[in-house]
Amino acid sequence: MVKVIPRTTKVLERLAAKNTPIYRTLSLYYKKLVREEVTLANIQATDKVLCIGGGPCPFSGILLHEYTGAHVTIIDNDECCVCIAKGLIEKLGYSDSITVLHSDGNNISPEDYSVIHMAVQVSPMEKVFCHLRQGCRMGAKILVRLPKKTLSNLYSINDLSVFQSCSGKAVHSWRNVDSTALFIKS
């Protein structure tokens, strides 16, 4: 049950990465969400952004770059997703501005990045978040997408209270994502 939403998302994203009308339609879901996140973290062109969990069609990483001009590095621990996402980034002509790597959020060194973005499907959410918060540089901003309470059993989050002490929050309506929490390393 826990993996139903992440698996469905991957299937839809595989289709989107290969089909422009599906890509355009699904990207509508992310546009307002990402705009609100850009505002929340005040992301600038000079930021170095790391996205954890891009999937085969990394909408969030792509929109973060398009809305801010910042360089974005996207990682995923599924080799097949990375391969499809690399092809899409090349097709979109973003190879100089967006890098896609096969890596796990639990192993990546976060100190080179000023903004870190975590997808709601990241697993295990609390462990990856603690690893990133511990290793990132002072002043770095971490954005964590959190599911609606009623849906949290469909994601890899056991303890939402870990994310309560955030510096700010963007609340999203009409989505499986309840809010994005902002943490600033101090």
- Site stretch for ligand SAM (CB under 6 A), options 42-50, 57-65, 159-167, 168-176: 57-65
Q: Which two tokens stand for residue 88?
A: 């899409």
User: What is the closest distance, in whole angstroms, from the C-beta atom of residue 182 to ligand SAM in the complex?
Assistant: 16
Question: Which position has the token pair 């600038």?
Answer: 44
- Please tell me whether residue 176 binds ligand SAM under the rule CB under 6 A: no
Strands 177-184, 168-171: pairing is antiparallel
Look up residue 153 and give its two tokens: 């059993």
Distance CA 127, CA 156 (A): 10
Selected from 17, 41, 43, 57, the binder of ligand SAM by CB under 6 A is: 57
Nearer to ligand SAM, 58 or 110 (CB): 58
Shorter beta-carbon distance to ligand SAM: residue 53 or 147 = 53
Site pattern 105..144 for ligand SAM (x: CB under 6 A):
xx------------x-xxx----x----------------
Place of tokens 């391969």: 83
DSSP classification of residue 27: H
Select the residue interacting with ligand SAM from 41, 49, 58, 157 (CB under 6 A).
58
Binders of ligand SAM among residues 62 to 101 (CB under 6 A) are 75-78, 81
Q: CB count, 10 Å around CB of 156?
A: 18
SS3 171: strand
Closest approach, Cβ 48 to ligand SAM, in A, equals 18
**Do β-strands 115-118 and 141-147 pair in parallel, antiparallel, or remain unpaired?**
parallel
Stretch that binds ligand SAM, among 8-16, 17-25, 64-72, 166-174 (CB under 6 A): 8-16
Smaller CB separation from ligand SAM, 85 or 140: 85
Of 120, 145, 117, the residue nearest 132 (C-alpha): 117
Cα pseudo-dihedral 64, 146, 54, 25, rounded to 10: -70
Residues that bind ligand SAM (CB under 6 A): 6, 9-10, 13, 52-55, 57-60, 75-78, 81, 104-106, 119, 121-123, 128
